[in-house]
Amino acid sequence: MNSFFWTLSIVLISVGGIVVALSLMGRSYADRVQRYSGKATATVVEIEADTPDKIGRAKGIHDYYYAVFAYYAEGRLYKKRYERGGNPCPFSLNQAVDIQYDIEKPERFRLREKKQINIFSQGLYYLGMSICVAGGFLFLLTAMRLL
């Protein structure tokens, strides 16, 4: 058995495991730090017509359509209008949308978005798993005495 490849496979598996652990810690940190830490799935229950915002008025649009979301937060049902509208409405009736809400004031919410740290931690996770798989493959080749 070639001790160099054996050692290299163990190092790759260890480094891959550390990278995966770092990615999971980064994701956990991002979830703890963000202000809107409550997560729920909201449903568009109504679409209201109203006056457009500043950008819509500048474009000469007369009507804007705003989605009204219903969601459960902290055991209570909330029905709130989303602050951003459009013409046409960016949402449709009965559409399910992932949201984040403020734990202290559940009536305050925003659409769930991918943060830069989430994308980075996901990339780290896949990198770590790839390194682990490469180390495992090298380990198997060494154990079968093919290297």
Mean pLDDT of 58-73: 90
d(CA 22, CA 94) in angstroms, rounded, equals: 38
Whole-number pLDDT of residue 117: 67
Segment 99-139, tens digit of pLDDT: 989 888 888 898 887 766 678 888 899 999 999 999 999 99
d(CA 49, CA 86) in angstroms, rounded, equals: 10
What tokens does 18 get? 């550390």
d(CA 56, CA 80) in angstroms, rounded, equals: 21
Segment 28-62, tens digit of pLDDT: 877 676 777 788 999 999 999 988 878 778 888 88
Whole-number pLDDT of residue 20: 92
d(CA 72, CA 78) in angstroms, rounded, equals: 6
- Cβ atoms of 30 and 117 within 8 Å: the answer is yes
Closest C-alpha among 15, 36, 44, 46 to residue 127:
15
- Cβ atoms of 125 and 23 within 8 Å: the answer is yes
What are the structural domain ranges in the chain? 3-34+116-143, 38-111
H-assigned helices in the chain: 3-33, 54-58, 116-143
DSSP state of 94: T
